[in-house]
Amino acid sequence: MLAALGACEFDKVGIQPTESQLATHGVLSATAPTQVVLVERTRNGTVQSIAPPFDLEVPLVTDEGIAETGAIVSLTTPSGATLFAREDYPANGDGSGRGVYRFFLPGSTLDRNGTYKLSILTSKGERVNAETAVPGGTAVFAPDPPRTFDRAADAASIEWPAAQGARSYYVRIETPFGPRAFFTDSTRVRLPGELRNVDLKTLRHVFVPGFPQTVTVSAVDSNFYDWYRTHNDPLSGEGLANRVTLGFGFFGSLVRLRFLELDVVAPQTEPIAGKYRVVGPPDELIAGPHLGLELYVESPSARSDQPDALSGRVHRKVTFSSPGCEFCGVLGTAQNGRVTLNFLRDWSASDTAEVLTGEIRGDTIVGQYRTAGGFAHFVRER
């Protein structure tokens, strides 16, 4: 809005670095085999932040974090016992895992509604304290059997028993573009197939045809609830409900109550939508990485000058030299007989493994791989 009014940026000046502070994120999960606390520094202008490809096992350093290594992180249980965390970094032996502190405390042994006290002492003598009480409720360790979910017709109605000590319930749906998460005080929720993801600026659909999507409902304590429901005002830097003394961050707890896996589908009425199998000359079949394809028109274009959005899944050849998912996500576009398909490394839209560009010839998509080269023919099955 300001840009529309002509506000402009000027007077960019260098400023002095400020004093860095300790930040921690910790969750006690009733379903986790170990409990992990992340310890890092706030950004203060002394470190160049870098973002290598995200690695789930190295969640701090691969996500622009400034890890605090060498800290003594301890947990006092409701019974008074003190546990000490081990930092992944030296244990991993490959330099990764800095700032990731792990308590070998299975979630199933957590004392419900008892208070756990976290203490962090850095090598410079800084100390951070926080505490949490783990809510009650029966923890669900494995997902329900996958079920097909027709985005056009279905709605997932989910209920769960009230959990003692829970401040709220955290509902989270994984999507290729980032999760949709919200809190509710109710013990039921309805997720219609056409639900939009208001956590994304583009308000995309939550459910994307062709993708398996996980839904979890967790009972959370007040620290978890307060930390994720609040934000700092970008101008004043106020607003976050910080529950960590002498530092920033939170130490909360979570009990997973519902765990669903939905295989999202949609009617395949458009000409390009359908199941495809790979055909072609023998050398092309041998060299090609894919076996088949399932495509949906995720959203038809609202403008004549823009393509339709496609989604779906691809059946990969999994080999020793090409490990990974057997079925992976596909996102793409189609317009005027031209098609572009982004084959994802897994199911996240942010990680594309290969792109195929081509055209639609009747029931066949003929295209060329951008990275590996080579052609592919996908024929729609009747």
Partner 1 sequence: MGRAPRAAVAGALTVLRGGGYHGAPILTATVTLRASLKHGARIALLGLAPALLQAQDAPVGFVSGQVTARADTAAALVAVAGATVALSGTALSGPPAVTTRADGRFLVEAVRAGPVTVTVSAVGYRTVQRSIRVRPGDTTRVSVVLRSEAQVLDAMRADARAVDAESFQARPSVGTISLGAAAMAGVPNVGEPDVVRVVQLLPGVIARNDFNTGLNVRGGESDQNLVLLDGYPVHNPFHLGGLFSTFMDATVGGIELVTAAFPSRYGGRLSSVLEVQSADDPRPGVHTTADVSALATSARLSGAFGGGRGTWSVAGRRTYADALQSIFTDNVFPYHFRDLHARATYELPGGIHLAATAYEGKDVLDANLAEFASDSTPTKAAGGKWAYDWGNLVLGVTLSKNLGAVRTPLFAWALGDSTTLEQRVSASGFSTRLDLGEGALTQRSELHDVRFAGSIRTRGAAHDRSLGYELATYRIEYASGSAQTGTTGFDLEQRPTSGVLWADDVWRLSPRWLVEGGMRAEALSGRDWAALSPRLSVKYFLSPDVALTVGAGRVTQWMQSLAGDGAYRYYDIWIASDSFIPVASAWHYVAGAERRLDAGSVRLEGFVKKYDRVLEANWSEDPGRRGDEFFQATGLSYGLDLLARWQSRSGASGWLAYTYGLSTRTRDGVRWAPGQDRRHDVDVVGTWPVGRYKLGAHFGFASGTPYTPITGQIVRRVYDPSLDHWGTGDPRLLLEPLGGARNSARFPVSHRLDLDVSRTWTYRGATVAPYLSIVNVYYARNVFVYLYDYSTDRPTRRAISQFPVLPSLGVRVGL
CB of 18 to partner 1, least distance (A): 5
Provide the greatest CA pair distance for the chain.
71
Distance of alpha carbon 250 from alpha carbon 227, whole angstroms: 7
Q: Provide, rounded to whole angstroms, the least separation between the CB of residue 303 and partner 1.
A: 6
| Residue 44 vs 371, nearer CB to partner 1 | 44
Least Cβ distance, residue 225 to partner 1 (angstroms): 8
Give me the least distance between CB of 178 and partner 1, in Å please.
5
Judge whether 95 and 87 are in contact, CB under 8 Å: no
Tokens of 343: 């084959």
Query: In this complex, which beta carbon is closest to partner 1, that of residue 31 or of residue 376?
Result: 31
Cα 173 vs. chain centroid, distance in angstroms? 9
Closest among 374, 303, 365 to 330, alpha carbons compared: 365
C-alpha distances (whole Å) from 335 to each of 19, 170, 271, 305, 358 are: 53, 39, 12, 9, 11
Q: Which two tokens stand for residue 48?
A: 């160049």
- C-beta separation of 152 from 187 below 8 A: no
Closest to 119 in 3D by CA, of 82, 163, 80, 65: 82
Instruction: With CA atoms as reference, report the closest residue to 295 among 318, 278, 270, 316.
Output: 270
Nearer to partner 1, 78 or 179 (CB): 179
**Ordered alpha helix ranges (H), 123-267:** 222-229
By C-beta, is 293 or 297 nearer to partner 1?
297
Nearest to 21 by CA among 40, 42, 39, 37: 42
Contact 60, 38 (CB under 8 A): yes
CA–CA dist 342, 298 (Å, integer): 14
Distance CA 31, CA 154 (A): 29
Residues 110, 229, 208, 343: is their CA dihedral positive or negative?
negative
Q: Which of 59, 130, 43, 126 is nearest to 98 (CA)?
A: 59
Whether the Cβ atoms of residue 138 and residue 30 lie closer than 8 Å to each other: no
Closer CB to partner 1, 46 or 82, in the complex: 46
Beta bridge partners of 109: none
